[in-house]
Amino acid sequence: MFAFTSLGWHRHDQTTRPPTALPALPLPCGADVTGRVPAWSGGLRTVGLAVASMALKTRSRVVRKGRSASSPETPRRCALMSTMAVLCPGTLGAGQRASAKGNPFVLLQDGMEAFRNYKVEDSIKFFDEAAESGYPKARLWQRGLSLYYAERFEEGTQQFRKDVEVNPNDTEESLWAFLCEARMVGFEQARKQMMTVGFDPRPVMGSVYALYKGDDDAKYVARLEELYQKGGSDAFYASLYLGLYYEAKADTESAKLWLLRSVESKYGQSSNDYMADLARVHESGLLRTSLRTEVDCGCVCCRVWMNVASPV
């Protein structure tokens, strides 16, 4: 969950913590309607921060990925994109994008768009450029996801672990660090070295974390299956992380079943959540795997998923 403060981008935690100091980033827009980004003044900074705060704040805090559909709060990806639209109106028009070259917010948006369009390697380049342009690298969880799908698992786990260092309550980053490490050292060893994070009040994410950590597999699989039956975002996240869990265990059939359910869920089909885009990218890889015979088209999805049955 992100909010723009005088210290830069800050993700709100589930518990009250003092904000982590980050380098202040220039607001990537101004009063110039042509899309040019002027040198910015103190007055513009004050107005921009106020707008960012209003765009991100729902009730007392902005939520992270995976809130239930009934919640009035906004999932992390939706909050981020809404704020970028407020801060960077020029980024939404193709004719104005060239003037924002080197703008970390635009580069972040470009990376997310590339990933949604199955261009995993391109997305990593955009995320790296965003970091080089001033976006706090430890906050680039999107980069970690792309690194996973590019099979750059060592870099992926480093990205997620850095994120947890600055936000110890980030459940999902600990899960993705585990998924990266399971591909490198195996399922059981990855469990042993899984990061400990703070309490997550969301039933679905608390159950996923307990399952991945190995507290009681049968108990938490059953609990997630129950949450899937409730529909909404719980159904999407329960099925997504059950699928990823089975995939890490090399149970290919169960993985396909649950991952396809996540994509076909109402939330997966209709939400603007970045994780719904991820599920669709993942499904594309699964389908390519099942259809491949003797021909390898050479795309990223084939390269990543050709060894699903026997992960590293």
| Whole-Å CA distances, 6 to 3, 42, 45, 67 | 10, 11, 9, 27
Q: Give 101's pLDDT tier (boundaries 50, 70, 90).
A: low
- CA–CA dist 180, 311 (Å, integer): 11
The pLDDT score that the predictor gives to residue 71 is 40
Q: Is the pLDDT at 234 greater than 50, yes or no?
A: yes
- 154-183 pLDDT, tens per residue? 999 999 999 999 999 889 999 999 999 999
- CA–CA dist 185, 222 (Å, integer): 27
- 60-75 pLDDT, tens per residue? 333 344 443 334 334 4
Choose the weakest-confidence range: 2-11, 32-41, 188-197.
32-41
CA angle 208, 117, 90 (to 5 degrees): 105
Strand partners, 3: 10
The pLDDT score that the predictor gives to residue 307 is 40
Q: How far apart are the first and last CA of the chain?
A: 32
- Give mean pLDDT, residues 105-109: 96
Share of the chain above pLDDT 70, in %: 59
The pLDDT score that the predictor gives to residue 270 is 95
- Give mean pLDDT, residues 198-212: 93
The pLDDT score that the predictor gives to residue 287 is 54
The pLDDT score that the predictor gives to residue 288 is 52
**Structure tokens, 248:** 């890490």
- 253-297 pLDDT, tens per residue? 999 999 999 999 999 999 999 999 999 999 887 655 444 333 345
Q: Give 97's pLDDT tier (boundaries 50, 70, 90).
A: low
Q: Give 241's pLDDT tier (boundaries 50, 70, 90).
A: very high
- CA–CA dist 270, 205 (Å, integer): 21
Share of the chain above pLDDT 90, in %: 55
| Whole-Å CA distances, 224 to 207, 246, 258, 261 | 7, 13, 11, 13
- Give mean pLDDT, residues 21-43: 37
Q: Give 53's pLDDT tier (boundaries 50, 70, 90).
A: very low
Specify the pTM.
0.66
The pLDDT score that the predictor gives to residue 201 is 86
The pLDDT score that the predictor gives to residue 212 is 98
Task: Give me the domains of the chain, ranges plus CATH numbers.
Answer: 3-305 (1.25.40.10)
